[in-house]
Amino acid sequence: MACKLAAVTESLRERKKAATRRHLAEVATRLFVERGFEAVTIAEVAEAADVSVKTVYNYFGAKEDLVLPEGQASADRLAAFVRDRTPGESAARAVLRNLRAELSRRDRTVGLTLGYGRFMRMVRESPTLLARFDRVGTDMREALAAELAAATGASPDDLVTRLVAAQIAWVQERMFAEIADRTARDEPPGDIAAAMHDLLDVMESLLGDRVLDYATREPE
């Protein structure tokens, strides 16, 4: 009984922490969009969210972390797609499948929500955020290369593995860049999603068989 109560208490605590994190990110993003990322301080975010500055830093280690969407910010994002690929599925096809699923859901992770255009304009006006997004992209490619090496038994520094990782990551990077361009022009999310499905088809056709079949999981 005590264990069950502890589990419920822990679940409630985690939900409360998640809600607080969402609240802080939403308040901060609203201020950043209204006034520009560089112009808003953490103290102003804390005041608008009715919390202390310490509370903000308890949830976000840096000001930029308040902006980065959780699904995009994780360096493990592409590696996780590959790690969870189905039997008979390759690394590239697993990534393509997940990207298409996110587009079909019009997932927030890929920016297919109303108002995202203003958000992207704010990001593009901030050198700090652009540099952070670049670092996240580099970290994703490195994590993906490490996952591919583990899946194939190759050395982490294997040139072919790193080239395959770069090409798979390019697919996502190009899709995100195109979404950013279109949302900045305030195109409807549904139209963007349809265009991105077509873009993924084109990019898949440009990848060679060696990339498309790389690190195929053995059937069970």
* Per-residue pLDDT of the chain in tens (220 residues, 90 and over written 9): 655 655 556 688 889 998 999 899 999 999 999 999 999 999 999 999 999 999 999 999 889 989 875 555 688 999 999 999 999 999 999 999 999 999 999 887 888 877 777 888 898 899 999 998 888 899 999 999 999 999 999 998 899 999 999 999 999 999 998 998 888 888 888 999 999 999 999 999 999 999 999 999 998 7
* Domains and their CATH numbers in the chain: 1-67 (1.10.10.60), 68-220 (1.10.357)
DSSP structure class, residue 66: G
What is the pTM for the complete model shown?
A: 0.81
Of 200, 148, 207, the residue nearest 174 (C-alpha): 200
- Contact call for residues 116 and 209 (beta carbons, < 8 A): no
CA 7 to chain centre: 30
H/E run at residue 13: helix 2-35
Greatest pairwise CA separation for the chain in angstroms = 58
